[in-house]
Chain A
Amino acid sequence: MRMESTVDLTDEALIDKYREEQDMALFKILVRRHQGRVFAVAYRLLGSSEEAEEIVQDCFVKVHQNLHKYRAHSTFSSWLLRICQNLCMDALRMRHRRKDIAAISFDPQAQGQEDENFGSGKPVTQVADAGPGPSQVLDQEEQTRIIEESIQRLPENQKIVLVLHDIQGLSYQQIADQVGTSIGTVRSRLHYGRLKLKEILDPYFSPENRTQPLKSR
């Protein structure tokens, strides 16, 4: 009976109740309420289901450890998302260290935009498509796969903003708060992220290329 009433509580009310009662069932309601979104963000940022699963668990364990620090002036979901994003950033950094990959930052205006060089690579103004050639007909599943893979080729700072805005639906202000930057930077990263994504996806989706099996590059 108690569970039926608690599932209707807001996140903040659930947290208050959990603080009072220390009933793990209450915390699990929070987990089940947000696990889908946390997994989706982690999956989009990392491009790996296994790593995203680890992030989901780490994220909620961290939330539990720091629950006493949570203050209701920000929504629980944005706090949760910030923790998730930080964990994903850590995972991406670890991945870069392990594989010693030099990330390429795409920025046509690289000379005057040092902020966009966030990450570890040199900025470039031309991005070659190293992926597979475009196919004429893409079914929905294939299209999803191509877009997901293309997102993974974006520089991290652009990828985060793009995922949070275009896929998760956060506003510029929310993203700026989340990432800890200005709205202008968010706008800039989103602009260049979309520009690069469009360039990667053009061979697959532009109308003229759909009639041509392969575009030589």
Chain B
Amino acid sequence: MEKPSQARKEDCPQIEEELDAYLDMELDDQRAEAIEQHLAVCGDCTGRLEELSALVSKLQALPEPPLPRDFGDLVEARIKATEQAQEIAPAELAAPVQVGTAKVFQFPRPLLVAAAALALVVVGATFFGSPSSKAPIATVPDQSVTQVAEKPALPVNVPKAVEHRQESSPAVAEKAVAPAPAPALKPSDNPHLVAQSQGKSVPSLTSPAPLAVSQPAPELIAEYDDIVGDGIDDYGISTNEDGLYAIKL
């Protein structure tokens, strides 16, 4: 057995590293005994062990952080929401998917293909379709529609089409419900108004003159959707079965 006078200071670094395990009773008996022998003669290492013991005591005495709430119901709600989302998710909805920190909208592949095909058909029909194969349809030119919209008698209550949108997208509905912004009309912008102001005769909206084909403004479509009976007759505008707007000739 090592005598106290024979304690070697060069052992201290090794002993110091093992003091934690010794304190935690994680050393085997042989090493624990060797450390006890060293501690018996080494005041420095004994002091270190006391400091270490005091530190660990402080940590162990830390109060348990108070639980801010009961998580039982919260966890249950999260689990149910997750399960519901998994049931609905892939086929029907373009659910946002968490990719890293960003949310990405993923559409099912068949929907994308169908949408692309539909877009091709619409574009093809618009640009390459034979006019003779369809009923004569002339879409309202922008300027004429603008003139129509200028009339204040248009109702501003929520159209059906808008109501339908409102369910799915409040932001869109809000935009559509709001009265369509009256276009800032200046006579100089509109050849009809310019001509009228100059006392010239202008072709009526229902004249057989060829009309430029263009798409009506979306907010005006929303307004026309709501017009029943008289409203459309007043302007000579109707829709065909494809939902396109036309002026009666």
Contacts and interface: CB of A to CB of B under 8 A. Distances in A.
A106 interface: no
Interface string A39-51: 1100110000100
A24 B62 CA distance: 34
Interface stretch (A5-13, A77-85, A164-172, A209-217): A164-172
B31 to A, nearest CB: 12
B20 A190 contact: yes
How many A residues are at the interface, by size bracket?
35 or more
A191 B20 contact: yes
Contact of A191 (B17, B65, B67): B17
B88 interface: no
Nearest to B77: A57
B68 A28 contact: no
A171 B60 CA distance: 14
A32 B17 CA distance: 40
A24 B76 contact: yes
27 contacts: A27-B75, A27-B76, A27-B79, A28-B72, A28-B75, A31-B71, A39-B68, A40-B64, A44-B65, A57-B75, A60-B79, A61-B78, A65-B82, A143-B58, A147-B62, A148-B62, A166-B56, A167-B60, A172-B21, A190-B24, A191-B17, A191-B20, A194-B20, A194-B52, A194-B55, A194-B56, A198-B52
B50 to A, nearest CB: 12
A133 interface: no
Contact of A39 (B63, B67, B76): B67
B51 interface: yes
Contacts of A94: 101
A56 interface: yes
Nearest to A109: B17
B26 interface: yes
Interface of B is mostly: helix
A68 to B, nearest CB: 14
A165 B75 contact: no
**B17, B51, B58 — which one has the most chain A CB atoms within 10 A of its CB?**
B58
B2 interface: no
A60 B56 contact: no
Contact of A147 (B59, B67, B69, B71): B59
Contacts of A198: 51-52, 55
B237 to A, nearest CB: 55
B74 interface: yes
**A31, A143, A172 — which one has the most chain B CB atoms within 10 A of its CB?**
A31
B70 interface: yes
A106 B90 CA distance: 48
A35 B65 CA distance: 12
Given A166-B59, A194-B20, A24 B79 contact: yes
A57 B20 contact: no
